[in-house]
Structure 1
């Protein structure tokens, strides 16, 4: 093999390994993480899925995360709400993404799209530098820049396309990457990997998009892709829920990674043992959640089938058997498997009927309840920073502000929030919602501790 071929091989191996390498430090116990962004963050789930992963995979490392997205925000609006909406939450870690609104919309189909794109890029940079000054003044807060999800300008599902908008977003993401490097901040890119998913899927189905039914807002499946990319950047790929291997014939534990196996018995062919994993499965939601979202979170497995192997692997193997066996956990029938299947191994996290999966599913539902309450605060923040702030009435919340709000309902976005504002104008109501969220998080960290399970393999004919 010549030197050029050797170099090419080494480069390929380096790039493959680089995909797996940790780019961003994992969150740690006690962290307070704010996800700052626009409507993709505001109405989306990626941050909630990331927290759910930590709730289930690191159940003893209690932490706190917050949605700090506001619909329609550019870097300017993010700058304007840093103090009251972000820093007030006392983050130890702050993630920042922008670009979808900064890049503009309709003018790409106008007379001077290149000039427009250049102006939008310059404006985004201008206000980002003001944000950067504020962030650099907080050396105690760890910064993570996120390259935004793309605008899909290639799918054929309709003709409503802003031509080359995604090119400008790519330039903003490249700028974000360089700005992060210049400040020794961490960086996670959603844009390039999601573009690649669109490109590959559209070869088969030209109408496919991972970017939602408006080309802008990823649906629940897209948000799991985003969470996956973030967690992978944190080095989570390959961290198993547990890895169990038992030799039933010898009544011996061969492997017990991130778990404890004890009391292995084999009596008249009935194999039993106690199993305590140190993590729980990540439950995949099959219900579309969120305003105008249509897809399930679990649908993401079509485009990231490696998720289960990399992020949600509860490996289970029993050797030294012959014939067929019914697997029971805490006396709940899970599956009937051959000795060959058991020896090869299965992923218990792929079974929704295990007691540990059901335990995790309760955590998922509580986290969704928390997310729904938190969403009301995001709409409230939109009103405060995109309506009242412009009128010099930020957080005024009195009868004068209410009159101004009622007078401003010729704006459809303002009018749509009338029912919400009638409640959230009252501090007592806001305080109650905060207490509800705190109680939910407290309850999650009470019930997310893995339990010792009784595993039984019962011979069947």
Structure 2
């Protein structure tokens, strides 16, 4: 009897222990699931917010950053954001840490995009020790960004174009040429994991450049967006800008206008992205006044191939116009008295897209914005970025000297002294460059404001062709 009672208590104790253990494991699993963060899906922005583009020479080129700025200048003309390019040629993640306080934190960013890794891999086949340096420096950089209250947006390193490297005249290690693009893919895959687990933004710069290149080479085996194998040319930088904005799910459409005639003969319009007034729909055609909320996203001439390859206008800047019920024939559309094109009644019923039409005043207005911003980036913005080259060299030499035991290298000490004197004027260069950039930005915000446009659609006489 006593043995039976002991056995019963023992079974009860074991059962209770198993129950508590299981419950504890379930609670731990539930807590772990609840702690999972959703990656950033979009940038929430309002006037006064600051975006910092942190990176190496690819950012220092002031191209993809410029095109992203163009998008915001035209898509949100009444929202004034602050943009700061923080790219320096040759930079690794450690270099970004060295200049972080003055070149990132000082601008009080809401978001910091990070494009680093091209130099960190050191242009050789995968090396675990080299990757670990990148790993730890990037983790520290991300921690510093979070510490200032900003949200990191991690971007994969861009493409290393091995074919372009082989076609070039520069002598390179064949194994590095063959394998370096794969190294960058590894780095980018790790960044994606970090972003997904930590709730950061993530942009795939690598995939679009590689995919567009391999597709284009089906027709032209020598095609490249990166002639020097490392730095994307202007069209490639449009691909990068498209990737950033697409992955951050920005507002893609400029406007949509649908016009028809009701059964009682009255005209009707359904619109998005602006205000339509003075609508007339009669035997003479259709006319109305349209005040859009924004302008199309356009890029300078040297970058247009990138816009074509990404179908930039259709995917990110659509200005659609549909007119239903028109009698059969061709119609001429003019905006503010300037002919934009001729279209059949069936095409107009389906819809036409105007965002990439250089004859429209909206496109021309947006191009003025793009050219002003090109002037801003080619001049004062790049001038400010160039001033950071000396600092980067200074920081690297100082780090080397600090690591030396005993007597320091005299040549490096002299070099450090020379750079320190050169850097004495850097703050003045930064202030003057930012003042000059602001003057051009003020002009941009004068030019980028949408204005009311008069649309007139008239039937074309038989045999009259558009010139």
Q: TM-score range by the shorter chain?
A: 0.7 to 0.9
CA distance in 2 between counterparts of 1:430 and 1:134 reads: 23
- Corresponding position of 2:31: none
CA shift digits 1:4-35 (9 cap, x unpaired)? xxxxxxxxxxxxxxxxx983335433210001
Alignment of 1:4-403 (within 5 A): 23-105=41-123, 108=124, 113=125, 117-138=127-148, 140-155=149-164, 157-158=167-168, 162-210=177-225, 212-236=226-250, 239-247=252-260, 250-266=265-281, 268-286=283-301, 296-305=302-311, 307-322=312-327, 323-372=329-378, 373-387=380-394, 390=397
Q: C-alpha root-mean-square deviation of aligned residues, in Å? A: 2.9
CA distance in 2 between counterparts of 1:340 and 1:450 reads: 29
Secondary structure at the aligned position of 2:54 is classed as strand
Contact 1:41 1:68 in 2 (8 A): yes
CA shift digits 1:205-259 (9 cap, x unpaired)? 332223x11111111111111111111112237x311101112584523320112
CA shift digits 1:297-337 (9 cap, x unpaired)? 110144323x2221121001222222222211111121122
Q: CA deviation at 1:278?
A: 1.0
- Corresponding position of 2:406: none
Contact 1:153 1:166 in 2 (8 A): yes
Shift of the 300–425 alpha-carbon distance from structure 1 to 2, 3 Å rule, reads same
- Corresponding position of 1:291: none
Superposition TM-score, scaled by structure 2 size: 0.78
- Corresponding position of 2:440: 440
CA distance in 2 between counterparts of 1:426 and 1:84 reads: 11
Contact 1:248 1:271 in 2 (8 A): no
Contact 2:116 2:157 in 1 (8 A): yes
CA distance in 1 between counterparts of 2:428 and 2:434 reads: 10
Aligned residues: 399
Tell me, yes or no, if structure 1 residue 451 matches structure 2 residue 446: no
Contact 1:251 1:264 in 2 (8 A): no
Superposition TM-score, scaled by structure 1 size: 0.79
Shift of the 50–25 alpha-carbon distance from structure 1 to 2, 3 Å rule, reads same
Alignment of 1:412-423 (within 5 A): none
CA distance in 1 between counterparts of 2:290 and 2:358 reads: 18
CA distance in 2 between counterparts of 1:388 and 1:96 reads: 20
Shift of the 450–205 alpha-carbon distance from structure 1 to 2, 3 Å rule, reads same
Shift of the 255–143 alpha-carbon distance from structure 1 to 2, 3 Å rule, reads same
CA distance in 1 between counterparts of 2:255 and 2:103 reads: 39
CA distance in 1 between counterparts of 2:41 and 2:233 reads: 26
Shift of the 382–426 alpha-carbon distance from structure 1 to 2, 3 Å rule, reads closer
Contact 1:22 1:235 in 2 (8 A): no
> In terms of Rg, which structure is larger?
2
Shift of the 310–458 alpha-carbon distance from structure 1 to 2, 3 Å rule, reads same
